[in-house]
Amino acid sequence: MIDYVHLTTTYPVSEDVFENTHWSRFTFKDGTPVIYHRQHAVWIRYYPLKGRWTITGKIITLLFDTQVANVDDVYGSDLQAFAADINDCLQGLVNIPIPDILEWEVSRIDYCFNILTPYVDAYLDVMNEGFRMANNGSRVNYTQQKKLTGSAYVKTKTDYKDNTRRNYVLNYYDKFNRLEYLQKRGTQIPATDWQWATNVLRLEVQCGYVFIKELCEKLKISRAFGDLLSYGVAYYAEAMIYGRVFKADADQDYFAYQTAKKRLGKQRKALEVLEWSAEHHRVTDSKYAHGRKQIQKAGIFPFAFLKKGSGVEVLENPLKLIWGKMVGLGIAVEGR
């Protein structure tokens, strides 16, 4: 449930602790020195002039060489064990006590869940079309802009334009497809990762510092990693971002058109809007509000439908898949 992070803390130490083979040194053009170590997909940096530390990257790879496994896949509900192992790893690199990882401040954190499903393509098809029909112009789907396949990758328009992650990114994708892409670019993929990635829909949201600030204010928590390392916070972040991107919530599943039509029965306004939407017209305007709300109340996502030939009539909402995985791990989170 945790992937990429950017963490910082201030803790001045003697440079003597870095006199081992783990660490390298570099000086920026402005004369700023940095001492750094890379371990798999994580960079640990120490800036001696300010006594500042940073950790940047896929944090679980401090402990395991994997492109697929998440914290939840390895540790289940025992996040304290995960934090303890990270602390042991960091202290092993310098051989002195350093601040508890739970106290480091977060400026980026990615929450993600690997969901096993034979309908990865069907999910991505309906979500990409749903975004296209629900978007009001304030967000951009990189997948559609670049005519790519295998994902739904949505950023705010300002972040897309500036190529940053100040706000948030929704990145739902085919994990096996992603491994194939990385392998073509020269990344060595552990053999077990191919097995773990087969039929896996990756549900990932990337939270930049602007969104983290909003998230913490809503939940009345700090930006400490210990507060944000939480299944409840992870689900809340996923739900917030999903809602903004798709104008829907966890109660609306994805339906084939005819199945949705049968579910609505004789609700005339809802059926009119449903048919209009199925013909690839937008139904976000206020004049469609009544019918659209009836559709959503019936548990149907109103902006796109499963394609004929997808092999399925109804797919559970992605947020339900996340919730189900947490329940399967024995994690108690307050109700949706």
Given CA atoms 108, 213, 205, 226 in this order, what sign does their dihedral have? positive
pLDDT of residue 21: 80
Q: Whose structure tokens read 């400026």?
A: 107
- In the three-class reduction of DSSP (H, G, I as helix; E, B as strand; rest coil), residue 335 is classed as coil
- pLDDT at residue 136, as a whole number: 83
| Token pair 């739902």 in the structure block, residue | 172
Q: Domain boundaries in the chain? A: 2-108, 111-250+318-328, 251-316
Distance separating alpha carbons of residues 68 and 176, to the nearest angstrom: 9
User: Ramachandran region of residue 116, left (φ > 0), alpha (ψ -120 to 50) or beta?
Assistant: beta
- Give the integer Cα–Cα distance in Å for 130 and 147: 16
pLDDT per residue, tens digit, the chain (336 aa), is: 999 999 999 999 999 999 878 899 999 999 999 999 999 999 999 999 999 999 999 999 999 999 999 999 999 999 999 999 999 999 999 989 999 999 999 999 999 999 999 999 999 999 999 999 999 889 999 999 888 889 999 999 999 999 999 999 999 999 999 999 999 999 999 999 999 999 999 999 999 999 999 999 999 999 999 999 999 999 999 999 999 999 999 999 999 999 999 999 999 999 999 999 999 999 999 999 999 999 999 999 999 999 999 999 999 999 999 999 999 999 876 655
Global pTM value: 0.95
CA distance 231 to 229: 7
User: φ and ψ at 211, to 5 degrees?
Assistant: -70, -40
